[in-house]
Amino acid sequence: MELTDPIQYLKGIGPKKAEQMARLGIYRIYDLLTYYPRAYEDQSRLTPISDLQAGEKATVTGTVMSTRERVAGKRRLRILTALIGDGTGFLQVSWFNQPFLKKQLQPGRRLFVTGKAEYAYGGQGQFAMSQLISYQLLSEQEEPEGKLGILPVYAATEKLNQAFFRREVALLLSLDLPLREVLPPAVEKAYDLMPRREAFSAIHFPKDAAALAAARKRLAFEELYLIQCGLLLLKRKARESKRGVRHLAAGRLSQQVIAGLPFALTDDQAAVWREICRDMELPVPMRRLVQGDVGSGKTVLALLALVKTVENGFQGALMAPTEILARQHYESFTRQLAGTGICVGFLSGHLTPKQHEEMYERIASHEVDIVIGTHALIEDKVQFAALGLVVTDEQHRFGIAQRAALEKKGASLPDVLVMTATPIPRTMTLTVYGDLDVSQIRHLPPGRQPIRTFVRGTDRRPLIYEYVRKQIEAGRQAYVVCPLIEMNEDVDLPSAEEVYEELRHGFFRGISCGLLHGRMKAAEKEAVMQAFYENRIKLLVATTVIEVGVNVPNAALMVIEHAERFGLAQLHQLRGRIGRGPYRSYCILVSDSKTENAKERLAIMAETTDGFELAEADLRLRGPGQFFGAQQHGLPDLKVADVLRDTDLLLAARQAAQETLKRSEDLSFVLPVLAVQYKEQFLHITDT
């Protein structure tokens, strides 16, 4: 049997089961093999009934003394209770709606049960299993010790229960699966790792805690090692490619655009710009990540790099994660490039078919020099005449796979510049961006006033809005952010629509207000944003559509309603919309939440504006998945490793991967495994 064979090849799995398993993401033999337990049940020790502790899990073996059946409650639950004894005491065990068990639980029958013990109701100190986790009937001669062990607990469903998973996984492990060795023997030895085949067995059915830990370490290491190999291979492939685009030193156009900027580049910006130039001037494709907190001034670097590619006769593409942001870049670039002769085009999913065709043609014919757009840029129909540079903005929304799709669009490999405001901890940088070189903008442009942040209860809304009104009357603009778009009867939260109606007829009567949310038509959104940019709208009620990138320096106030509904990373991005100009800015987090976690999150927001500090706090409070937003992080699927906890392992795996790649030209042992495991991310290296 091959690891890529459909799961149905396994005995006991028919079309129906296969379909149910597909819903859990299990399609192939390999997927079941790596459907690791989400927990374990320790049945490695037997506890005498007299030693049971209330509230603790234990495994007990005993003999059925008697059974009794009753019907209880409105729902006519049939409860079967057996009293079992082991010579040290008695224990009640109950089953619900399983009348057929009565026949099997004859007095004298021996039983093996695991569960949580509690004092039995009215049982005078007797114990009952309040949560029966598992039970097994023992045959006459069977020794209960034979049943002892650590049992896997899978993320099961009603139809696919624990017993099913335990049976099928055990069956799978008993087969002679073609599990190739992935790690070079030297690595396995150096890091004291359990052999692969043994690790797969032990992670499902560990014989003790030490075996489980060793299996986990081995598989986590392997996972991280593979990803690092993949990323380093990507990097090497780009580096060795003779198809890179070679740019010349900055020419007249670049100088003209720099001279036309309304500000001088900061030292950090200038340093990063030099790094970008150096990369672009090499024949090897650039793969550079620019990391800089919100408002640090990354956009101008994108602009300069794009101009540089254009003056060298190439086209450039800038991809943004939202329509609003793409549109904003388009408008501001068009303005800043007026008089240079550079033609800027816009592409998003919301154009008419005719506009699409037209834009495709203008891109293919090189009439357009710079295209700015959304994910629509990735589509196959977009073909460039001479793509020299791809910039992706706010990269954390794009995975490795999307990045690759864009890169494939040129005859040569274009230079790649990635901008992110996400203050990614180092370990994550290595995992998500392990194939990129990193530049950092550490300081904000001068003259910024620090943003002041306050947490306030809803009872203070009148005061808050009175203050906002005063500020608007003094010339500023303001955002009000709400978690929901429209009325929702299930949740007791004011929606953006409601808040908008309430505010414009209430506190802000006579002041021009706007509403912006994700479900509005593209043209409507655009009109509202345009009015806000032009200061015709003073108060913008919005959902998180304004989260990234929006740049209106005159907006100096932000009120976030139900702030507890947002994650730290999101609040930080939102808050980054203000404090972009010379005005003192205020962010008010409105919340009545009493939960500790929410209170802590908001308190941290009020305390610091440092993205790195916030990111670390967020990781601590919510874990890595949440931090990047569901499914959007582009992080390869890690099943065992944990980028937070396994930092040491990650660094070791990266080093091992580096050494492997340095030593051996032949990666035939890595590529097939990479293909099975991370097909999507590394398609373009495993394909060839």
Q: Which residues bind Mg ion (CB under 5 A)?
A: 549
* CA 390/CA 383 separation, integer angstroms: 13
Q: Residue 518 interacts with ligand ADP (CB under 6 A)?
A: no
Q: In terms of CB distance, is 516 or 548 closer to ligand ADP?
A: 548
- Least distance in Å: CB of 298 to Mg ion? 5
- Residue 3 or 294 with smaller CB distance to Mg ion: 294
- Among 300, 363, 405, 676, the residue binding ligand ADP under the rule CB under 6 A is 300
Which option in ligand ADP, Mg ion, none does residue 567 bind, with CB closer than 5 to 8 A by kind? Answer: none
Scanning 141-149, 262-270, 588-596, 674-682 for contacts with ligand ADP by CB under 6 A, the matching segment is 262-270
Q: Report in angstroms how near the CB of residue 532 gets to ligand ADP at its nearest.
A: 14
Q: Which residues contact 484 (CB under 8 A, 6 or more apart)?
A: 491, 493, 494, 495, 496, 543
How many distinct helices (H) and strands (E) make up the chain? 24, 20
Phi, then psi, of 438 in degrees rounded to 5: -115, 130
Comparison of 187 and 389: residue with beta carbon closer to ligand ADP:
389
Nearest to Mg ion of 144, 549 (CB atom): 549
Contact between 559 and 483 under an 8 Å Cβ cutoff? The reply is: no
DSSP 8-state symbol, 398: S
Give the DSSP H or E segment for 287: strand 287-292
Pick the binder of ligand ADP from 152, 295, 316, 423 (CB under 6 A).
295
State which residue, 285 or 576, has the beta carbon closest to Mg ion: 576
48 and 75 Cβ atoms separated by less than 8 Å: no
Q: Name the amino acid, one letter, at 555.
A: A
**Judged by CB under 6 A, which of 47, 296, 322, 591 binds ligand ADP?**
296
Question: Please, what is the minimum distance in Å from the beta carbon of residue 257 to ligand ADP?
Answer: 13
Structure-token match 């916030």, residue found: 614
445 or 518: whose CB is closer to ligand ADP?
A: 445
Q: How far is the CB of 448 from ligand ADP (least distance, A)?
A: 8
Q: Which residue of 378, 421, 513, 635 would you call a contact of ligand ADP, by CB under 6 A?
A: 421
Q: How many CB atoms lie within 10 A of CB 209?
A: 12
Q: Which of residues 571-610 bind ligand ADP (CB under 6 A)?
A: 580
Q: Which one of the spans 77-85, 116-124, 297-305, 309-317 is the region binding ligand ADP (CB under 6 A)?
A: 297-305
Minimum separation from the CB atom of position 609 to ligand ADP (A): 13
* Interacting residue with ligand ADP among 152, 285, 297, 483 (CB under 6 A): 297
The 3-class secondary structure across 414-456, one letter per residue, is: CEEEEEECCCCCHHHHHHHCCCCEEEEECCCCCCCCCCEEEEE
- Least CB distance to ligand ADP at residue 302 (A): 8
Cβ atoms 105, 64 nearer than 8 A = yes
Q: Which parts of 28-67 interact with ligand ADP (CB under 6 A)?
A: none
423-444 exposure pattern, b = at least 16 Cβ within 10 A, e = fewer: bbbebbbbbbbbbbebbbbeeb
Both structure tokens of 73: 């409650």
Residue type (1 letter), 209: A
201 versus 296: smaller Cβ distance to ligand ADP? 296
Report the C-alpha gap between 528 and 603 in whole angstroms.
33
Nearer to ligand ADP, 62 or 292 (CB): 292
Work out what residue 660 binds among ligand ADP, Mg ion, none; the CB cut-off runs from 5 to 8 Å by kind: none
Residue from the set 530, 551, 554, 647 that interacts with ligand ADP by CB under 6 A: 551
Closest residue to ligand ADP in the complex (CB): 297
The two tokens of residue 461 are 């809304």
CA distances 513 to 392, 475, 502, 662, Å, are 32, 14, 11, 60
445 makes contact, choosing from ligand ADP, Mg ion, none, with CB < 5 to 8 Å by partner type, with: ligand ADP
Using the contact rule CB under 6 A, the part of the chain among 265-273, 277-285, 378-386, 612-620 near ligand ADP is 265-273
* Residue 298 makes contact with ligand ADP by CB under 6 A: yes
List the structure tokens of 620. 């601590």
DSSP 328-375: HHHHHHHHHTTTTT--EEEE-TTS-HHHHHHHHHHHHTT--SEEEESG
Report if residue 395 touches ligand ADP, rule: CB under 6 A.
no
Q: Which residues form the interface with ligand ADP (CB under 6 A)?
A: 263, 265-266, 269, 292, 294-300, 421, 445, 551, 553, 580
